[in-house]
Amino acid sequence: MLPSRNQLELYQQVIMDHNRKPRNFGKMECCSHQAEGLNPLCGDHLWVYLNIDEGGFIQGVGFEGNGCAISKASASIMTTLVKGKTVGEAKDLFESFSAMLKGTMASEDELERLGKLKVFSGVSRYPSRIKCAVLPWHALQGAMNQKNVVSTE
Ligand code: ZN
């Protein structure tokens, strides 16, 4: 289901807010996992830092780097969502988020589970922007899998 025009405007405001005031921004010391993410198509370049405990819980998460509003807002929102989750839960969230962007979401329930990530639902209309939105998640996945550099290309 496509968001209404009013919803899209609201979503746009949330994206701009996270772009202006990114949450959990800055290099994180003492991280257990990290990865660098590149989206050569747009020029987005960021690093994601994680502290994962022995139980597989993401205790700390941060990011830094430069990119367009979509990639920065996506990274910012991602950090607020995955903190306290397990690695498996974060991967599930990424799966659902990609499905929403690709327009292959299974159900309305799955969409509801995305919570704040719904603000990116308008991005699915712009294929070149999808890579900006998923870049931080690719970097997150890279960090969780101990892969140090990931690229959308
Ligand atoms: Zn971008």
pTM value?
0.94
Q: What's the burial of 47, exposed, middle or buried (CB within 10 Å: 0-12/13-18/19+)? A: buried
CA of 130 to the centre of ligand 1 (A): 9
Regarding predicted confidence, which is higher, 130 or 105? 130
> Are 143 and 50 spatial neighbours (Cβ–Cβ below 8 Å)?
yes
CA of 70 to the centre of ligand 1 (A): 6
CA of 56 to the centre of ligand 1 (A): 30
> Are 133 and 105 spatial neighbours (Cβ–Cβ below 8 Å)?
no
CA of 38 to the centre of ligand 1 (A): 10
Determine the Cα–Cα distance for residues 95 and 79; give it in Å rounded to an integer.
16
CA distances from residue 74 to 44, 149, 153 in whole angstroms, order as listed = 12, 18, 18
Give residue 55's pLDDT.
95
Q: Which residues surround ligand 1, an ion (CB under 5 A)?
A: 42, 44, 68, 71, 132
Res 142 pLDDT > 70: yes
Give residue 30's pLDDT.
73
Regarding predicted confidence, which is higher, 76 or 108? 76
CA of 74 to the centre of ligand 1 (A): 10
Give me the amino acid identity at 27: K
CA of 54 to the centre of ligand 1 (A): 34
CA of 68 to the centre of ligand 1 (A): 4
Give residue 105's pLDDT.
86
